């Protein structure tokens, strides 16, 4: 199901008669998920809904500075809340990608889904607003808010700004379209503190994040004539610096920064989920990251996807490497050839 005025109208009809709304994104929310959750909750409260977003407050990472984080319902306290009559999933189109505490609440409620992942087929919810061409879920929420003529304030604008800039790579990725910049221009009218946000998200790093980067650099493995590069963080690495996944958000940029790289992989273990190996995937050229992620039940975007593999780190790497080799071997389309740079 694609984004359209009909979807907007269906979503508005679903909202009619509802009073208490719960909003959630995916596990370990990134800037797009968290910004979208905070913005949508505030937008709905501004027009009379009793709307609340929920998240694991220990997994917010750098976007956790946003105004509105203090209003989030910690997922561990979700059971104590009064009943909701509508559930909205943002930046997430499947129960298995949500926090476990959210699923039993969401399953029994009418559902609206707002998302931009190419692997979201629109069947998860009663009504879906899905646009895989959008730079971010935040951009879609901005469009939906403008269509409904809902008022924005600075807190909403900054939450949507973070959503858009983090998922568009500061407007550098192919998903940046004229509409993306129109949305950004409108948000700036509401006093978005662009320099401050840039410094927080991209210009400063905690000691834990720096420690994880140092370990990840030492693990860098490059193969297939630099076409494929990977880094690894084990649960012991996280424990060594007392870090969390939120401290490792941009680790994938290490293998991606290798000259000629076309497929970048980041394998990591979450300390409290020792039987799961997660893999973040980034691609360039014509390679589709979702083709690799889908082999392991994952998904995402054409150029950025992820999956979870049950088993040991060694087994997970062997399986993913085999999938990469098969993709390289059988792909019918040519990859973009990046001219070699002499260093």
Distances (CA, A) of 33 to 42, 60, 290, 314: 14, 10, 19, 31
Token readout for 32 is 């797009």
- The answer to whether 5-201 and 207-330 have equal CATH topology is no
Closest by CA to 49, choosing from 134, 112, 130, is: 112
Token readout for 48 is 């009379």
Q: What is the largest CA-CA distance in the chain?
A: 64
CB-facing half-sphere around the CA of 16: CA atoms within 13 A: 7
Cα-trace Rg, the chain = 20
How far is 291 from 99, CA to CA, in rounded Å?
Answer: 24
Closest by CA to 112, choosing from 19, 10, 37, 2, is: 10
Q: Is the dihedral of CA 247, 250, 255, 258 positive or negative?
A: negative
Q: Are 183 and 171 in contact (CB under 8 A)?
A: no
Give the global pTM.
0.87
Token readout for 256 is 């991606």
Q: 207-330 belongs to which CATH class?
A: alpha beta
How far is 209 from 64, CA to CA, in rounded Å?
Answer: 15
- Tens-place pLDDT, residues 196-233: 999 999 999 999 999 999 999 999 999 999 999 999 99
| Residue 334, pLDDT score | 46
The helix or strand, by DSSP H or E, that contains position 141, with its residue range, turns out to be helix 137-148
- Tens-place pLDDT, residues 62-95: 999 999 999 999 999 998 888 999 999 999 988 8
Question: Cβ atoms within 10 A of the Cβ of 101, count?
Answer: 17
CATH (residue range 5-201): 3.90.1640.10
95 against 242, higher pLDDT: 242
Q: What average pLDDT is seen over the chain?
A: 92
190 pLDDT above the threshold of 60: yes
Closest by CA to 223, choosing from 260, 257, 248, is: 260
- Where are the chain's structural domains? 5-201, 207-330
Closest by CA to 299, choosing from 106, 170, 132, 112, is: 132
Query: In the predicted model, what is the mean pLDDT of residues 250-262?
Result: 96
């Amino acid at each position: 199901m694609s984004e359209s005025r009909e979807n907007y109208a269906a979503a508005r009809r679903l909202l009619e008669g509802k009073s208490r709304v719960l909003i959630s994104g995916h596990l370990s929310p990134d800037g797009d998920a968290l910004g979208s959750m905070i913005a949508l909750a505030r937008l709905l409260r501004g027009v009379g809904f009793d709307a609340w977003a929920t998240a694991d407050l220990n997994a917010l990472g750098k976007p956790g500075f946003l105004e509105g984080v203090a209003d989030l319902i910690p997922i561990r306290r979700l059971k104590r809340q009064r009943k909701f009559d509508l559930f909205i999933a943002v930046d997430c189109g499947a129960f298995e990608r949500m926090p476990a505490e959210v699923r039993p609440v969401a399953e029994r409620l009418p559902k609206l889904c707002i998302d931009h992942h190419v692997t979201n087929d629109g069947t998860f919810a009663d009504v879906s607003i899905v646009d895989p061409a959008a730079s971010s879920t935040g951009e879609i929420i901005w469009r939906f808010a403008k269509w409904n003529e809902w008022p924005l304030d600075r807190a909403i604008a900054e939450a949507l700004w973070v959503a858009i800039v983090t998922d568009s790579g500061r407007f550098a990725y192919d998903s940046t379209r004229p509409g993306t910049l129109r949305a950004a221009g409108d948000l700036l009218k509401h006093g978005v503190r662009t320099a401050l946000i840039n410094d927080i998200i991209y210009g400063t790093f905690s000691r834990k994040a720096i420690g994880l980067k140092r370990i990840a650099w030492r693990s860098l493995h490059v193969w297939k004539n630099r076409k494929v590069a990977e880094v690894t963080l084990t649960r012991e690495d996280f424990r060594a610096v007392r870090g969390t996944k939120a401290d490792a958000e941009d680790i994938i940029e290490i293998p991606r920064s290798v000259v000629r790289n076309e497929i970048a992989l980041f394998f990591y273990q979450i300390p409290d989920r020792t039987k799961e190996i997660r893999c973040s995937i980034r691609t360039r050229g014509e390679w589709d990251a979702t083709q690799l992620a889908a082999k392991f039940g994952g998904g995402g975007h054409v150029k950025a996807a992820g999956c979870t593999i049950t088993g040991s780190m060694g087994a997970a790497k062997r399986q993913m490497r085999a999938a990469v080799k098969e993709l390289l071997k059988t792909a019918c389309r040519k990859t973009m050839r990046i001219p070699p740079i002499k260093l």
